[in-house]
Structure 1
Amino acid sequence: MDEIQVRGTSVPAIGLGTWQLTGQSCRETVEAALEMGYRHVDTAQAYGNERQVGLGIEAAAVDRGDVFLTTKLDGSNRDARSVRRSTRESLNRLGTDYLDLLLIHWPNTPWMASLSETLGAMNDLVEEGLVRHIGVSNFSPSLLDEARDISSVPILTDQVQYHPYWDQRKLLDYCRIHDVLLTAYSPLARGGVLDDPALVQIGNRYGKSPAQVALRWLLQQDGVAAIPKASSRDHLEANLAVFDFELTDAEVERIRDPSKLRTGVEFARSQLPF
């Protein structure tokens, strides 16, 4: 498993996203993924599956210390008291005494606590040893800049939607300058990459699927990790098998410049609540 070095920390380049995984299926998927070689698991309070994620980690023959575990604060848990309370509840559900990474799931809205209050409480959790690193999710470059100015603890990552139809070059440039990891969720555009003609053609050259080409495209970019969701063993294994080939510069640019029609379709798809 390749790892990315950021602020002296090693983060596995490929992680398991668990959005929409629930119940026994979630537990079994996490267990299977870890036994295949995954060492990066991502969940959130809003997913409602932290307990099952924790059971999957416990069931796998892998030391907890070898797993990079992330969860995210729900929108209702942004004031200082709620940050501290809900994080302890997350730890209890996950069956662990620390988190590798705690994120603000979405930017605070005006009726929530201030970003300063939320980050201050997260900083306190780092001081207490309950959280090792903090970060944000779905923050624009300007909001990420604000968070970095506020927090005394470095912001390790900004987790955002990133795939060939969602341009994040501005954010990625910012992250590279300031040593912040960009973590790509929905890296397969909710399945939108699977029939992309360019990805199919490029994949045929390497004996890889369009999904594997899309993941390779992300991971070849400095400072980018990806957390694709998968539940079947075949997909879990396929997502790991992306480190044995390398795209040419021309292929990288071709993937970066998809058709405007497909980009529009995938943007519309991304706005749907399902």
Structure 2
Amino acid sequence: MQNPILPRFGLGTFRLTGQAVIDSTTKALDLGYRAIDTAQIYGNEAEIGQAIAASSVPRRELFLTTKIWTENLGGERLIASLKESLQKLRSEQVELTLIHWPSPGGAVPLAESLEALMEARRLGLTQQIGVSNFTTALLREAIAAVGAENIATNQIELHPYLQNRAVAEFAQGQGIAVTSYMTLGYGKVLSDPVLVRIAVTHGATPAQVALAWAMQLGYAVIPSSTKRENLASNLRAQELTLTAEEMAQIATLDRAERLVDPQGLAPAWD
């Protein structure tokens, strides 16, 4: 069976727990979202599974992504932890499983984790595998271990203030899709005069402009919200096309402003 194509638009669930994530997932599914991104460390897989089970959307129409936490990157532990995630998500498999962060200090060899993911795929626990928060150097190591054709995506912080071009261009050049998280920069970019001006021109919102910008560069996006109106508005970013001049204007906003840089987890960034 052919692997499903990585959706270019999905629902992010970082920092959403309990009833908040149930409500967000329920509203998103109702609005037409069909891709949902979660992670073991988010502590919300069970609630997402509950929301999916309660919805009228058939499971076969959904694309679920989860991410393996650093404590579970060892070979045997990785597969066991993924099985736990599947139980919480009430699914026999997920469409995509990522290494959430590279093993701190290289405690678990990257090849070991990737081989475990490959085994999880062979076992039918996941349809595709990938990585997150990987630098160009780490991507090279991953490619050497399992081949670029086996890495579906690299999910990285990427927004107008952190455009991460070196990593993104390297990944795309290897045929590895880029997934942008934090595309709205924790909301920081929404008041940027350039995005505001472009939004006014199109009768759009700055959030739609930022999301459309990322998608036009070929990146997948996974914005999150708990408000139905924002979820619906974000979804309409797929209908927005920016001009070459507008894309060039946003390109000038890059200031290498990294918002996610956890001590002890973060690699040596490009």
Show the counterpart of 1:188: 184
Q: Would you say the 8 A contact 1:78–1:112 is kept in 2?
A: no
SS in 2 for 1:175: helix
Q: Would you say the 8 A contact 1:32–1:60 is kept in 2?
A: no
Instruction: Give the residue type in structure 1 aligned to 2:111.
Output: S
Q: Would you say the 8 A contact 2:75–2:113 is kept in 1?
A: yes
Which structure 2 residue ranges, 5 or more long, are not aligned?
264-270
Give the Å deviation of 1:245. 2.5
Q: Would you say the 8 A contact 1:14–1:225 is kept in 2?
A: yes
Q: Would you say the 8 A contact 1:162–1:168 is kept in 2?
A: yes
1:42 counterpart (37, 41, 61):
37
Give the Å deviation of 1:113. 1.5
Show the counterpart of 2:243: 248
Say yes or no: does 1:91 pair with 2:47: no
Q: Would you say the 8 A contact 2:73–2:103 is kept in 1?
A: yes
1:81 counterpart (76, 81, 100):
76
Per the normalisation by structure 2, the TM-score is 0.92
Q: CA RMSD in A?
A: 1.7
Q: Would you say the 8 A contact 1:157–1:183 is kept in 2?
A: yes
Show the counterpart of 1:200: 196
Deviations 1:2-42 (A, max 9, x none): xxxxx963222111110111111211211110111111100
Instruction: Give the residue type in structure 2 aligned to 1:44.
Output: A
Show the counterpart of 1:61: 56
**Structural mapping, 1:164-243, within 5 Å:** 164-222=160-218, 224-243=219-238
What is the alpha-carbon distance in structure 2 between the residues aligned to residue 22 and residue 172 of structure 1? 30
Say yes or no: does 1:21 pair with 2:5: no
Show the counterpart of 1:121: 116
Q: Would you say the 8 A contact 2:208–2:240 is kept in 1?
A: no
Show the counterpart of 2:267: none
Per the normalisation by structure 1, the TM-score is 0.91
What is the alpha-carbon distance in structure 2 between the residues aligned to residue 158 and residue 212 of structure 1? 23
**Shift in CA distance, 174/87, structure 1 to aligned 2, threshold 3 Å:** same
Q: Would you say the 8 A contact 2:133–2:157 is kept in 1?
A: yes
What is the alpha-carbon distance in structure 2 between the residues aligned to residue 49 and residue 121 of structure 1? 23
Deviations 1:166-220 (A, max 9, x none): 0222122212221111000000000001111010101001111111100010011
Which structure 1 residue ranges, 5 or more long, are not aligned?
1-6
Instruction: Give the residue type in structure 2 aligned to 1:226.
Output: V
1:109 counterpart (86, 104, 122):
104
2:7 counterpart (7, 12, 21):
12
Give the Å deviation of 1:272. 7.6
